[in-house]
Amino acid sequence: MRIHLVAVGERMPAWVAQAYGDYAGRLTGECSLMLREIPAQRRGKKADLSRIAREEGERMLASVPDGCLVVALDEKGRSFSTAELARQLDQWMHSGRDVALLVGGPEGLTDAARARADLVWSLSPLTFPHPLVRVIVAEQLYRAWSLLRGHPYHRE
């Protein structure tokens, strides 16, 4: 199964690319994590933020591969414990479908992106910087996978 992390923003700081790459690289072929970056539009003082968010959301949805189960990351979504996320990951892996995880830009996800989602997942009620979300998602997916495989990374 492939998990496509579809995220708004490019040219992340080196520490983001390094941390994301470290955790994504630990996942095996049975569950690989691939990043699809959506270029963020320029936001000036008088930018039309609703238009920008809508256009970024449209490009994000257009980049979701056909047949994917779509999961939107949003603070109003469902929270998972590590064990619950591991069970969810196991279900995804046995579904026969790839998964697309949507991470919005500074304005968050559009209503259209949330409506397209099969599941809305909340990492936390806290708001995280979007670059950090990539790292958290990669680490949590690796942790869930390691729990499923009995790997010692996750200790209960």
Closest C-alpha to 55, from 68, 42, 36: 42
Strands lying side by side in the sheet with 32-38 = 32-38, 2-8, 99-103, 69-78, 119-121
Is 110 a known ligand-binding residue? no
Is 32 a known ligand-binding residue? no
Is 82 a known ligand-binding residue? no
Is 80 a known ligand-binding residue? no
Residue 118: C-alpha distances to residues 44, 51, 101, 123, 128 (Å): 33, 24, 10, 16, 22
Is 49 a known ligand-binding residue? no
Q: Tokens at residue 67, please? A: 């047949």
Q: Label residue 66 exposed, middle or buried (CB < 10 Å: 0-12, 13-18, 19+).
A: exposed
Q: Name the binding residues.
A: 73, 104, 123-128
Q: Name the binding residues for S-adenosyl-L-methionine.
A: 73, 104, 123-128
